[in-house]
Structure 1
């Protein structure tokens, strides 16, 4: 089978890199091959090579291609060829694993490198010149059948890297139909192994899974199997039902899924529980603030007023979670205006400098928002009325 043509294959520098490494010493691998076969866009290009890392660096530098030793201990060199960034990794085999990290040795055997990868659909290689695809473990058939299957014994693969449990479900939600039964049973049996992983790795996989095309079905399966119970027990059947509703509102609003919004849907609408999960998963401060904002029920002033006060993105999150798809769409595409007057303009109207100015601005802004953000002339009239009220009270 030949890899179909795709725009990414014509990126400047790819042919130059392959020519520099030499005939038979470079193959595209992994997601770029898989996604091209599925007709999906490709953003990251990985190249595998039997050449040792130091030989890769020497060849690249001799050809004037920038070589950055981003992961040279594990065989990875980042090549910048004519402005195109490509990860070049020496073929590897696992020497030892502990469920979190692996000690590797380099090899010249393509099949040995493929055997250490997680799923058959990720162990596809393609020649950059001819497009010939190399498939060592039935990945092409699995890709056509939308079958997510571990390479070899699922229990052994999970023992090597516990994160593969979550990756299995994420890939199922993105590429799969019916789950491989042996893989599903292995993930279920070893779910407690997730507790040994760093919370950052769990967070990254969970957030990617939540925005996958078939996230609702797969998350429901995970809850039924108690996969997440060891690390995020707050996600239950009711949370999956809320996610299903949210996905419908997102579609109605024509808005893409957003990971923190979807996390807010699957968690209880409880500030303390959300804060606990945010801390446990080591969300960034911005993500934790967005999570806390999303679950608040504050819609008294309407979608645009809410978007003005908390920002269009957070307003859209809150409205979608409340089931207001029309309001969310209105808020998400809106650019909030600026109040067309300043504190100086109020002092010019007779107010003294100090707290009265700030108080007046808040009142003016509230009325301006309530009237639908009118222009400068009307804003000035509102300001005249508010200043007159304050002055009349002495």
Structure 2
């Protein structure tokens, strides 16, 4: 989106040629529209509308998520785009070259990435979201307040707590205005980034699914049909902080599910179990880099657990090093046991890899006491005497002995 690569063709980890080299047959421009578990046959629709059947011994489904189309008047106007997958990415990227005023509907990961790219390209860009904050799924208010102020300084206009009511088109059918319950915004380009829904409607009555359309799978990625496995955004994933299930929604987790499903199919028996995850993610918005894993204020409130949290801000490097960049941190933990359940990190320095440490800590069911004294290296140009993760746990434990400074 920011023209850091010349072509979308460069953005892949595998393609048809690499699959061919491994002996994997790929069928592009083909859509599976039906599955018959009794006869073990899938029906495939080709791009020209013709269909054919393909048999299987075992089947792995990965229908993914589809962008939800909001039931808003004028949503089919020209120059209103979704942002999901390669095709839409190319359209939205090319639109950046001609757009002058853009409205992004949705302030999540996808929405802010597009908004940043458009703002940096000099486009008058507004983000509208029904939520009161940017990125409410990933970051708490201590972080998003600063991010929103920073985004405004960079020229990005954020309109929280507004619901889009209508897209108004001009005489040629192209969008020219976005109307919300609180105002109107001129726009020659609208990007809809309001989330996705599982692409599983065609599987209704065939596989067991949740009420909101996710395929139910066991710990081996096996569906309610013994010879059908499923992986990706259309399934739920074991969630380490609570022990329950949660939607994946991340490519990293989809890849892990796919490996588990493929390994079990190849083995001829269920040998590999899907490990629990914490939903670890990282991104940047202009100068700030941030990352999160596990529970935050919003998700913690939806559990039955007794959860406490601690926010802490400190320098990353020692005082005698000429680098005064700070890190903002927050940790969520079980009040009685001190078991760590979630973490958020943000800084102008790239500290995002540290969230992987926190993900491991959550999976290992470590406590504040474990993290407070955990062995991390010290090198003044890279770290502080007590790593900032040590300090965060120490602050949560209240180990300050009456001082407002850490005394370790």
What is the TM-score normalised by the length of structure 1? Answer: 0.32
Q: Which of the pair is proportionally richer in helix?
A: 1
Q: Larger RCO: Structure 1 or Structure 2 (Cα < 8 Å, ≥ 6 residues apart)?
A: 2
Q: Which of the pair is proportionally richer in strand?
A: 2
- Structure 1 or 2, whichever has the larger Rg, is 1
